[in-house]
């Protein structure tokens, strides 16, 4: 039998919803009522609920557990974890993660769950700490790194854009993994859309400093590539407006879109090698290995995300630690940090080695 109890803060009364099925040949009502007025719920549960102090009712959470054998469950100031089979359909993303799910929570309890152990804890804290890392790097760049490198105003703008994009990506990810368990599917989907938007912003944060310093001596190609990337990111934002964009049917399309936006970076990378005279050029020899490492980190992160390895081979054993999405999160932070440091080295090189045109003109 599936019942649901709760406390109405406006009226100060306890309510129950009668089971939506026939009992003894009589159709059950589906309206809210007091526990005693529901003809098929008079029993130990009603007596317990009616005798319960109102103060305790206000501080407790009531969750719908269906045919759960220990129903009803009253959890004062706590949050129950569910198995994969018990959570709503919109939370069933990875069948190899079998336990540790939060569900049916209001916003306040979603926030409180940040301090409890669940299968989302590592996902939340990895990017929350990532946000703090990039915030620290931003402060350090403005106060130390950039002034010591003789940076110009445009350098400050470029680094501010890059690190701001990384921080937005981190916060959007934290928000989704924190509020995905919201009792409203609509709210959960909104946070999912924000998470995807954050990924796009993070990709933009990689492109901006990379293209700016790669084509530092060629204003035409620098502006062309930056405008192209910005147009692609805006196109992804427009695609998110489609009503089926967040559906499971479009899962592979979403992956393909983000892969395309990130993979197009190979074009300006190859162009950069050609413009500088090939692999024998000093700047190419210095920074091409760092670009390749960047691609290796990104590719590894993507493989973990898509294949759901290692939990695919150890279902139920990596629910809380070691799952593929957690590895994906950590690799994204590592990738952003690596690219930020690469941009710092490229900026220092450009300030120490003037562009060929400037050298000849002087």
Known binding residues for Zn(2+) are 177, 325, 329
Tokens (6 digits) for 280? 């024998």
Tokens (6 digits) for 200? 């796009």
Cα–chain center distance at 197: 9
Tokens (6 digits) for 333? 């932070």
CA distances from 203 to 56, 115, 210 (A): 48, 29, 11
HSE-CB of 44 using CA atoms within 13 angstroms: 3
Beta-bridged to residue 8, according to DSSP, are 13
HSE-CB of 349 using CA atoms within 13 angstroms: 17
- Binding-site positions: 177, 325, 329
For Cα atoms 14, 30, 89, give the angle at the middle one, nearest 5 degrees. Answer: 95
Residue at token pair 């406390």:
7
């Amino acid at each position: 039998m599936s019942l649901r109890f709760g406390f109405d803060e406006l009226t100060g009364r306890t309510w129950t919803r009668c089971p939506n099925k026939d009992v003894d040949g009589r159709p059950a009502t589906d309206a809210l009522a007091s526990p005693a007025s529901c003809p098929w719920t008079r029993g130990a549960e009603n007596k317990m609920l009616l005798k319960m102090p109102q103060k305790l009712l206000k501080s407790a959470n009531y969750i719908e557990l269906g045919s759960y054998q220990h129903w009803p469950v009253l959890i004062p100031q706590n949050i129950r974890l569910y198995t994969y089979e018990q959570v709503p359909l919109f939370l069933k993303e990875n069948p190899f993660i079998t336990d540790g799910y939060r569900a049916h929570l209001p916003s306040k309890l979603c926030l409180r769950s940040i301090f409890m152990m669940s299968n989302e804890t590592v996902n939340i804290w990895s990017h929350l700490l990532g946000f703090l890392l990039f915030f620290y790097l931003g402060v350090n760049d403005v106060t130390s790194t950039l002034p010591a490198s003789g940076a110009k105003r445009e350098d400050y703008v470029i680094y501010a854009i890059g690190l701001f994009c990384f921080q937005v990506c981190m916060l959007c990810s934290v928000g989704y993994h924190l509020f995905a368990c919201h009792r409203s599917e609509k709210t959960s989907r909104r946070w999912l859309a924000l998470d995807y938007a954050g990924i796009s912003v993070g990709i933009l944060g990689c492109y901006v400093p990379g293209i700016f310093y790669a084509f530092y001596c060629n204003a035409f190609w620098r502006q062309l590539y930056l405008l192209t990337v910005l147009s692609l990111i805006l196109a992804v934002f427009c695609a998110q407006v489609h009503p089926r964009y967040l559906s499971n049917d479009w899962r592979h399309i979403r992956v393909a879109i983000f892969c395309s936006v990130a993979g197009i970076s190979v074009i300006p990378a190859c162009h950069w090698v050609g413009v500088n005279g090939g692999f024998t050029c000093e700047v190419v020899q210095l920074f091409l290995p760092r670009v390749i490492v960047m691609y290796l980190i990104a590719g590894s992160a993507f493989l973990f995300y898509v294949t759901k390895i290692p939990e695919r081979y150890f279902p139920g054993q990596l629910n809380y630690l070691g799952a593929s999405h957690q590895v994906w999160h950590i690799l994204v932070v590592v990738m952003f940090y690596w690219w930020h440091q690469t941009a710092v080295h490229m900026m220092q090189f450009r300030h120490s080695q003037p562009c060929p045109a400037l050298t000849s003109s002087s």
